[in-house]
Amino acid sequence: MKLGIVGLPNVGKSTLFNSMTLGKAEAANYPFCTIDPNIGVVAVPDKRLDRLTQMYNSAKTTPAVIEFVDIAGLVKGASKGEGLGNKFLSHIREVDAIVHVVRCFVDPNVIHVDGNINPTRDIETINLELIFSDMEIIERRLSKTTKAMMGNKALKKEVDILTKIKESLEAGTPVRMLEFEDPDDRAFVNSLDLLTDKPVLYAANVSEDDLADDGESNENVKAVRELAKKEGSEVFVLCAKIEEEISELDNDEKAEFLADLGVKGSGLDRLIKASYKLLGLISFLTSGPDETRAWTIKNGTKAPQAAGKIHTDFERGFIRAEVVPFADLDRLGSMNAAKEQGLVRSEGKDYVVKDGDVILFRFNV
């Protein structure tokens, strides 16, 4: 999973990136201090892996990972080349989802590119630039396909879809909000790789005082939540400054620090949970003496395709999957005990993998 962290200049993007990844992105009080995207890979915290590693005495533990890309701050006119312009937009095109950092804190010592705090306006600024960029792509594609349709009537469906997208963008509606009943239509839209089709997770960056109640008393956070609800997007609240302070603490110190603040879990934990929910992802687990590992898949993935995440031969030669829920394995303490209780199931090609399934794939090639 690759997440792009975006936002206007000076909203806390690079501070957030540094705290999440222990990276070295320069955080400064002026626009465009992040010129090239900074990339950091973060392990997804999963206590289930620790338990399985202990249970199987695994030589190696491999968690799922998320790749964060810190993308330079955007300004009005980026779609026309202002600021870092098209360079910024090309970086967004490479990610699976957008983490849009929105400034919801007031600090006279940190300048705002538009002079005052207004999260709805800030979100609109970035959304409009993404819409303008998509409009250029759609208008070119629509013109080309309409001409080609003169000699190939089968292209009419594509023209209809492109027209629907164009009308949506002209109305200021992101493509991700459009519904397509036909899976083939949705597949065609996905192939266009449009910026406004990417899922968005809003990160409301608040002051330390607003963190304990999850931003409930912050009017700026309320505005972000209302906007996200209309879009069907996710929102999580964090204080990038606090995240930076706790990023180098060990787990015990971090837990104590957060408890003193009255906060449950770090911003990274909340971001990961929200990202998995937004993208419809789950993890299944494999474990043995050599390695315990978490594998990230789409919710609804069937056993053979899950096996293919490990190796294509596993999917090609799939016979069956021996499955036990982690909760049962954890409670009983061993695979043998789970088998004695009849809790290890043999599942075939139509089995839909569940989050936390511990699986041993049987295959033959």
pLDDT digit string (tens) for the chain, length 365 residues: 889 888 887 788 888 888 877 654 444 443 333 445 577 888 888 999 999 999 999 999 999 988 888 876 555 554 455 444 455 567 778 889 999 999 998 877 766 666 678 999 999 988 888 898 899 899 999 999 999 998 888 899 999 999 999 999 999 999 999 998 899 999 999 999 898 999 999 999 998 888 888 888 899 999 999 999 988 888 989 888 888 888 778 878 888 888 888 887 788 888 888 889 889 999 999 999 999 999 999 999 999 999 999 999 999 999 999 999 999 999 999 999 999 999 999 999 999 999 999 999 999 98
Gap between the Cα atoms of 349 and 316, Å rounded: 11
Q: Is 229 exposed, middle or buried (0-12, 13-18, 19+ CB in 10 A)?
A: exposed
Residue 142 in 3-state DSSP?
helix
Give ∠ CA 293-310-332 in degrees, rounded to 5: 40
Helices marked H in the chain: 13-21, 47-56, 85-93, 119-149, 156-170, 183-191, 219-231, 240-246, 251-261, 267-279, 303-310, 312-316, 326-332, 335-340
For residues 236 and 204, the answer to whether their CB atoms sit within 8 Å is yes
- The Cα–Cα gap between 202 and 188 comes to 27
Helices and strands (H and E) in the chain: how many: 14, 12
pLDDT of residue 286: 97
3-class DSSP state of 61: strand
Question: What is the phi/psi pair of residue 172, to 5°?
Answer: 80, 20
pLDDT tens figures, 32-67:
334 455 778 888 889 999 999 999 999 999 999 888
Contacts of 106 (CB under 8 A, 6+ apart): 117, 207
Cross-strand partners of 42: 66
Distance CA(314)–CA(309), nearest Å, equals: 8
Which two tokens mark 149? 């349709």
Closest-CA residue to 130 (of 174, 191, 168): 174
- Distance separating alpha carbons of residues 252 and 244, to the nearest angstrom: 16
pLDDT value, residue 219: 93
Sheet with 281-287, side-by-side order of all strands: 61-62, 292-298, 281-287, 357-363, 318-325, 345-347
Phi, psi of 202 (to 5 degrees): -85, 125
Q: Distance (Å, rounded) from C-alpha 357 to C-alpha 337?
A: 16
CB 203 within 8 Å of CB 119: no
